[in-house]
Amino acid sequence: MALSKDVDADYSELDVEVSGAKAQAAGVKAVMVSMRRALQQMGPVRTVAALVRLNQRHGFDCPGCAWPEEPGGRKFAEFCENGAKAVAEEATKRVVTPEFFARHTVAELDAKPEYWLSQQGRLTHPVVLRPGDDHYRPIGWDEAYRLIADELNALDDPDQAVFYTSGRTSNEAAFLYQLLVRSFGTNNLPDCSNMCHESSGTALIDAIGIGKGSVTVDDLVRADLILIAGQNPGTNHPRMLSVLEKAKANGAKIIAVNPLPEAGLIRFKDPQKLHGVLGDGVPIADEFVQIRLGGDMALFAGLGRLLLEAQDKAGPGVQIVDRDFVDGHTAGFAEYETRTRAVDLDTVLEATGIDRAQLDRVAAMMATSQRIVVCWAMGLTQHKHAVPSISEISNVLLMRGMIGKPGAGLCPVRGHSNVQGDRTMGIWEKMPEQFLAALDARFGIASPRDHGYDTVDAIRAMRDGKATVFMAMGGNFVSATPDTAVTESALRNCSLTVQVSTKLNRSHLVHGRTALILPSLGRTDRDIQAGGKQLVSVEDSMSMVHLSRGSLHPPGDQVRSEVAIVCQLARTVLGPDHPVPWETFNADYDTIRDAIAAVVPGCEDYNRKVRAPDGFQLPHPPRDSREFHTTTGKANFAAYPLEWVPVPEGRLVLQTLRSHDQYNTTIYGLDDRYRGVKGGRRVVFVNPADLTRFGLSDGDRVDLISEFTDTDGQLQERCAKDFRVVAYPTPEGNAAAYYPETNPLVPLDHTAAKSNTPVSKAIVIRLERS
């Protein structure tokens, strides 16, 4: 199938058109864009076959985001523009065959932009790059497994191997993958979550004893106040907008906390409704808090103080501080109260950049609302002080008694469609003892107990030669991780890199001495094994677990399911006498689900429960019964000292974020429609006052130079070249640019305290004319 002209061009040289931020998201344009992409990639027959089954009870789960389907009557076309793009991207008819690899050397492919790589199509055959060769060449599956097994079994220590997972892997494949890795003898299971919601998990486990959100879609619909902080749902979770619209229709107020006036937060045009087709849509946010990057901890601490003072004024007859809840279910309130009463409000105003009147308005809304939900995503999690910032959110909700009550709670909005499920299934470098003991008991293995490497530590280990075999179950490690130059050399240090992938990406081209690409089925593909047609299961952002049934014709007969790849690899690595019944698991996924039922808490009777029409919800003790399995047996307040992100003189603080036309490192196209950017991605959004200060104008070309002082006090500089300046309504001192182009600027050692998540939303940069 022909590619459009711009795919072949080096997009950094294209002329970018800029037309300013848009006020509303979705609408008819969104439908047109998604249909055009679907038809281009899949053709008419497959487009219909795919889109009628997307998010339907007997269809497949959208491989886009982790936002839940609405329970009960799902609409016929329960998907969004970006879900349709994600499907088109996976179900494309374009293919990357052995002939493709024969035509292009690896060096040639590595010179292409990520967008070009993304657009080549589905991988069809296992291929190998041998030492000294410059082409990937076909290899049989058995030979590929043998090659990996020989490398792994030759290691002095299992901890010299690293096994990454991205968040699209099904529960069944994830469960078996961690079982293989632990049977082999290591906990080196870094995942994309380390770069994503790790900070949420870390903060919430301390606060409420479980690292998952405490609300359902129904809670959002019933809430009377919803705060959305550090999240851009119009692009990244578009189906959330229709839930927000419903909540508004029920009388909820919505507060958007974001440095940018993101289109979906301002207005929403539901293309399935008449007012969305003909009119301007509905306004979403009642209050837009245009916060400075990294100002959220100060905001929520300041709100905490104002809520305490409002309680003082209101007297004992009114419960702003929910005394029953605080006294009965929480620990650490006294210390929190002392710290919070001492929070300096001028500091809060400086850290957030908002005015006192707005702070008072938001506090008043929080004091008078009876059912509050706070949602957040990467704008909160990817900061140095991400964990304390999220703790501050849980502090105010605990104070108001907003956990374990209908219409209220904590809502970290997850990214990848099954990233939460993968964690439930054991993809974590530090799974708790209870899980490991159950795994050992079920299979008669001896799981290692030392914690493994997370993503950042895995890069360090490969850089330092401590790990030499790297395997990835999906994802695009080299483009998703920070400090691109360091990560590239870390991977090149490896003796073997193995990528289980659906599509071509950079991580196939930045490789170890030997490299394998193993093509796998995706969510949309039909999966047939010895025991017949197979189903898989996934968990969404609100702990709902349900089935997903792929139905499309796979891109080739050499493409294997992730389950099959893991089972056959396991048999080769672990030998025929290994106690895990790998062959049975491979033949019939019901047998995997029986094992999951025996090992994973909350999954008892999994095969039956998951077959209910909308699946089932995993237990969540705080949500279900106000039980808190924490160190104190209660929900914990946290009283960290205030942190925020000041802007050094002559510098900017940069956030790296997603355009409307990408899925993480997979680039769908070169437009960011809602931000008014067309035809290019190397843009940097800067406040007009900063441009004046620096003597720059909209349209100028600049290099971005990041500055980071390491632990030895040395100033490190990193550079990303040639960006077009876009004058944009971001707060003064704060800039924005797209990831992954800006990953070379993110220092490997600049990570969040406690969660070790790379700080992708606060990088100090200066601009230099190119």
Ligand X SMILES: Nc1nc2c(c(=O)[nH]1)N[C@H]1C(S)=C(S)[C@@H](COP(=O)(O)OP(=O)(O)OC[C@H]3O[C@@H](n4cnc5c(=O)[nH]c(N)nc54)[C@H](O)[C@@H]3O)O[C@H]1N2
Using CB under 6 A, list all residues that contact ligand X.
64-65, 82, 166-168, 192, 195-196, 229-232, 235-237, 257-260, 262, 291, 293-294, 296, 377-379, 382, 415-416, 473-477, 480, 500-503, 505, 520, 522-523, 562, 655-658, 662-666, 739, 742-743, 746, 760-761
Q: Least distance (Å) from ligand X to the CB of residue 291? A: 5
Contact mark string toward Mo ion, 360..399, x via CB under 5 A: ----------------------------------------
CA distances (Å), origin 354, targets 660, 682, 752? 27, 30, 25
Give the chain's end-to-end CA distance (angstroms, integer): 37
In this complex, which beta carbon is closest to ligand X, that of residue 630 or of residue 730?
730
Q: Is 127 helix (H, G, I), strand (E, B) or coil?
A: strand
> Out of ligand X, Mo ion, none, which partner does residue 750 contact, by CB within 5 to 8 A per kind?
none
Q: What is the widest separation between alpha-carbon atoms in the chain?
A: 78
State how far the alpha carbon of 522 is from the alpha carbons of 36, 118, 224, 433, 502, in Å: 22, 15, 39, 32, 7
If the CB atoms of residues 311 and 487 are measured against Mo ion, the closer one turns out to be 487
Q: Which is nearer to ligand X, 597 or 727 (CB)?
A: 727
Given the rule CB under 5 A, which of 127-135, 193-201, 368-376, 762-770 is the region that contacts Mo ion? 193-201
Amino acid 433 reads: E
Per-residue tokens: 302: 């300041």
The partner in contact with residue 760, picked from ligand X, Mo ion, none with C-beta cut-offs of 5 to 8 angstroms by kind, is ligand X
- What are the backbone angles phi and psi of residue 432, rounded to the nearest 5°? -70, 160
Residue 199 or 214 having the CB closest to Mo ion = 199
- Other C-beta atoms within 10 Å of 122: how many? 26
> What is the DSSP secondary structure assignment for residue 731, as one 8-state letter?
P
**Which of ligand X, Mo ion, none does 230 bind, CB closer than 5 to 8 A by kind?**
ligand X
CB of 91 to ligand X, least distance (A): 11
By the rule CB under 5 A, 233 interacts with Mo ion: no
196 counts as binding Mo ion under rule CB under 5 A: yes
For residue 276, the partner it binds in ligand X, Mo ion, none, with Cβ less than 5 to 8 A by kind, is none
Sign of the Cα pseudo-torsion (19, 415, 283, 369, in order): negative
The Cα 611–Cα 497 span in angstroms is 37
CB of 163 to ligand X, least distance (A): 13
Interacting partner of 687 out of Mo ion, ligand X, none (Cβ under 5 to 8 A depending on kind): none
Residue 734 contact partner, candidates Mo ion, ligand X, none, CB within 5 to 8 A by sort of partner: none
Please give the DSSP secondary-structure letter assigned to residue 61.
-
Q: Which is nearer to ligand X, 148 or 331 (CB)?
A: 148
Bridge pairing between strands 122-123 and 282-283: unpaired
Residue nearer to ligand X on the CB measure, 320 or 496: 496
Q: Which is nearer to ligand X, 445 or 647 (CB)?
A: 647
Which residue stretch of 6-14, 183-191, 192-200, 487-495 sits at the interface with Mo ion (rule: CB under 5 A)?
192-200
Residue among 253 and 416 whose Cβ is closer to ligand X: 416
82 binds, among ligand X, Mo ion, none (CB under 5 to 8 A by kind): ligand X
Q: How far is the CB of 215 from ligand X (least distance, A)?
A: 17
Both tokens of 280, joined, read 């301007």
C-beta of 34 vs 330, nearer to ligand X = 34
Single out the segment in contact with Mo ion by CB under 5 A; choices: 194-202, 334-342, 590-598, 742-750.
194-202
Smaller CB distance to ligand X: residue 229 or 686?
229
159 binds, among ligand X, Mo ion, none (CB under 5 to 8 A by kind): none
Residue 64's binding partner out of Mo ion, ligand X, none, with CB under 5 to 8 Å set by partner kind: ligand X
* Amino acid, single-letter form, for residue 113: P
For the bound state, the minimum distance from the C-beta of residue 719 to ligand X, rounded and expressed in Å, comes to 15
CB of 747 to ligand X, least distance (A): 11
What is the rounded distance in angstroms from the CA atom of residue 581 to the CA atom of residue 179? 11
Q: How far is the CB of 442 from ligand X (least distance, A)?
A: 25
**Smallest distance, Å, CB 423 to ligand X?**
12
Give whichever of 68 and 259 is closer to ligand X, judged by the CB atom: 259
Q: Which is nearer to Mo ion, 196 or 399 (CB)?
A: 196
The first and second tokens of residue 337, run together, are 């109260």
Cα separation, 559 vs 118, whole angstroms: 18
- In the bound state with ligand X, the residue whose beta carbon lies nearer, of 64 and 211, is 64
User: Can you tell me the distance from the alpha carbon of 43 to that of 728, in angstroms, rounded to the nearest whole number?
Assistant: 38
CA distance readout (Å), 113 to 263, 373, 518, 701: 28, 40, 22, 19
The entry of Mo ion, ligand X, none that residue 407 binds, CB within 5 to 8 Å by partner kind: none
Q: Shortest Cβ distance from residue 83 to Mo ion (Å)?
A: 16
Of 66 and 331, which CB lies nearer to ligand X in the complex structure?
66
CA distance 332 to 231: 29
Among ligand X, Mo ion, none, what binds residue 480 when CB lies within 5 to 8 Å by partner kind? ligand X
Q: Which does 636 bind (CB under 5 to 8 A by kind): Mo ion, ligand X, none?
A: none
What does the alpha-carbon distance between residue 409 and residue 693 come to, in Å, rounded to a whole number? 43
- Interatomic CA distance for residues 24 and 21, integer angstroms: 9
Q: How far is the CB of 686 from ligand X (least distance, A)?
A: 14
Choose among 738, 721, 753, 726: nearest CA to 641: 753
CB of 437 to ligand X, least distance (A): 29
- Our measurement of the distance from residue 696's CA atom to the centroid of its chain's CA atoms, rounded to an integer in Å, reads 34
Least distance (Å) between residue 474 CB and Mo ion: 13
User: Taking CB positions, which residue lies at the least distance from Mo ion?
Assistant: 415
Residue number, 202 or 760, with CB nearest to ligand X: 760
Report the nearest approach of ligand X to the CB of residue 380 (Å). 6
Closest CA to 385 of 203, 233, 241: 203
**Which residues have a Cβ under 8 Å from the Cβ of 633 and sit 6 or more positions away?**
none
Question: Residue 473: which of Mo ion, ligand X, none does it interact with, CB under 5 to 8 A by kind?
Answer: ligand X
Tell me how far, at minimum, the Cβ of 459 lies from ligand X, in Å: 12
- Kindly give, in sequence order, each residue whose CB lies less than 8 Å from that of residue 256, ignoring residues fewer than 6 positions away: 228, 262, 265, 266, 284, 285, 287, 288, 289
Amino acid (1-letter code) at residue 273: K
Per-residue burial over 309-319, b = 16 or more CB atoms within 10 Å of its CB, e = otherwise? ebbeeeeeeee
- Residues 396-415 within binding reach of Mo ion (CB under 5 A): 415
Query: Rule CB under 5 A: is residue 427 a binding residue for Mo ion?
Result: no
Shortest reach from residue 248's CB to ligand X, in Å = 20
| 8 A C-beta contact, residue 562 and residue 166 | no
Q: Is 699:725 a contact under the CB 8 Å cutoff?
A: yes
Site size for Mo ion (CB under 5 A) = 2
Shortest distance, position 658 Cβ to ligand X, whole Å: 3
Strand 225-229 and strand 253-257: the pairing is parallel
Contact 437, 402 (CB under 8 A): no
Residue 13 CB burial class (10 angstroms; 0-12, 13-18, ≥19): exposed
Helix axes 356-368, 345-352, angle to 10 degrees: 100
- The item of ligand X, Mo ion, none sharing an interface with residue 379, based on CB under 5 to 8 Å by kind, is ligand X
With CB under 5 to 8 Å by kind, the binding choice for 657 among ligand X, Mo ion, none is ligand X
Q: Taking the mean position of all CA atoms in its chain, how far away is CA 273?
A: 29
Q: In terms of CB distance, is 436 or 563 closer to ligand X?
A: 563
Give the integer Cα–Cα distance in Å for 566 and 141. 12
Q: In what order do the strands lie in the sheet with 137-138?
A: 137-138, 127-129, 514-519, 496-501, 469-473, 161-165
Positions touching Mo ion (CB under 5 A) are 196, 415
